[in-house]
Every structure is written in structure tokens, then in C-alpha cells.
Amino acid sequence: MHFQAVETAFRKFAVHGDTKAMGKEMNGKNFVKLCKDCKVIDGKNITSTDVDIVFSKVKVKSARVITFEQFIQAMTELATKRFKGKGQEEALQLLYGLIAGKEPSNVGVTKVAKAAAVDRLTDSSKYTGSHKERFDESGKGKGKVGREDIPDTSGYVSAYKGQGSYEDKLKDSE
């Protein structure tokens, strides 16, 4: 019997997405996830509703988690439903076969999505409008030159049009 492998799978799913979890108890969300990832939920004989009902049935009234023992109880209930026409023991073995050695499927998926999002945002070839003008063809930023509104630090009042004409005015008045 792959009891050890089933327990390992239980622990992996139990800690999934919960940094404080010790792997001894599993919440309802992760129980459903285990059932989905391990194809216990097949959409015909067993749906996520069935799994929720069984979870509520095996857990302690006030608790929000189940232990491995309660998990085995839940699996025993689901086994004959999942494998109709099979004896309880055989059905249970088949169900354990689905779970043994499995782990949550989307481990590490978020990392990929994150990188893709950042890459998309920092890809200057996709920039439009005024942002596009700040980069050359190779995608290298042009720095200060790429900006049109470089502040005039000559000491004149901003938007003053007659810059450099003061000396001329002096000459005229002489």
C-alpha cells in the first residue's frame, strides 16, 4: 500500500499557500485543491461540492482543518463514489494511487507570471507616444537628450522670450 506516499502528498498539499502550516492539518481549500490536482474530482462521479460535503463531514465541528486520519476517512468515503462498482478496499487503493507522490500543481507558476509582467512593462519597443522618443532603436535610453522639456537653468524667468536681447536694448538706447 502506498500509504507513505499518500501521507507525503497530504503534507505537501497541507502546507501549500500557507507559510504557518506544519503539514499536519489541511484546510478545506487545499483539500479541494488536492482532489482537483490528483483527479479525485472527475466532474462525473465526484464534483467539488461532493468533496466539500465530505470535508465538512469528517472534520471536527468547530475546526477548519482536517488531520491525516480524517483525510483517510474522507478518502474512504470518496473512493467508492469515484470508482463505482469496485469494492471499498480496491477503490481506496485506486484512489491512493491517484494521490501518491503528487504535489500541488501550481508551485512556482507565480514566478513565471511575475517575470513576464515585468518584462512586458520594461520592454521599450512596446512604448508609445512621448515615451517612445526617449529610447533609440536598440532600446537603450537616450537619457536627458531624449526629453524635450529640459529645464532652462539660465536664470531667466520661465517662458521669457527675449533671452539674450538685453544687450541689444542697451545699445539702442545709447
Q: State the pLDDT at residue 149.
A: 67
Which residue, among 29, 26, 21, has the nearest Cα to 6 in the 3D structure? 26
pLDDT tens-place string over residues 103-153: 887 655 455 445 666 677 777 777 777 777 777 777 777 776 666 666 666
Q: State the pLDDT at residue 156.
A: 60
Residue 28 reports pLDDT greater than 90: yes
Q: Return mean pLDDT, the chain.
A: 82
Backbone angles phi, psi at 107, to 5 degrees: -65, 125
Task: Give the residue with greater pLDDT, 9 vs 115.
Answer: 9
DSSP conformation class of 164: T
From CA 48, how far away is CA 35, in angstroms rounded?
A: 8
- All domains of the chain, ordered by start, with CATH? 2-99 (1.10.238.10), 116-145 (no CATH)
Q: State the pLDDT at residue 136.
A: 74
Q: State the pLDDT at residue 157.
A: 65
Residue 111 neighbours by CB distance under 10 Å: 9
**Cβ proximity of 31 and 65 under 8 Å:** no
Q: State the pLDDT at residue 127.
A: 75
The answer to whether the predicted template modeling score (pTM) of the entire model surpasses 0.85 is no
DSSP conformation class of 40: -
Query: pLDDT class for 18, splitting at 50, 70, 90?
Result: confident
**Cβ proximity of 82 and 46 under 8 Å:** yes
Residue 91 reports pLDDT greater than 60: yes
Residue appearing with cell numbers 529640459: 150
Mean pLDDT for the stretch of residues 10-28: 90
Which residue, among 15, 37, 34, 40, has the nearest Cα to 25 in the 3D structure? 15
From CA 152, how far away is CA 150, in angstroms rounded?
A: 6
Name the grid cell of 35.
482532489
From CA 74, how far away is CA 90, in angstroms rounded?
A: 16
From CA 124, how far away is CA 72, in angstroms rounded?
A: 54
DSSP conformation class of 155: S
Which residue, among 78, 104, 73, 93, has the nearest Cα to 9 in the 3D structure? 104
Q: State the pLDDT at residue 34.
A: 95
pLDDT tens-place string over residues 39-88: 999 999 999 999 999 999 999 999 999 999 999 999 999 999 999 999 99
Q: State the pLDDT at residue 138.
A: 72
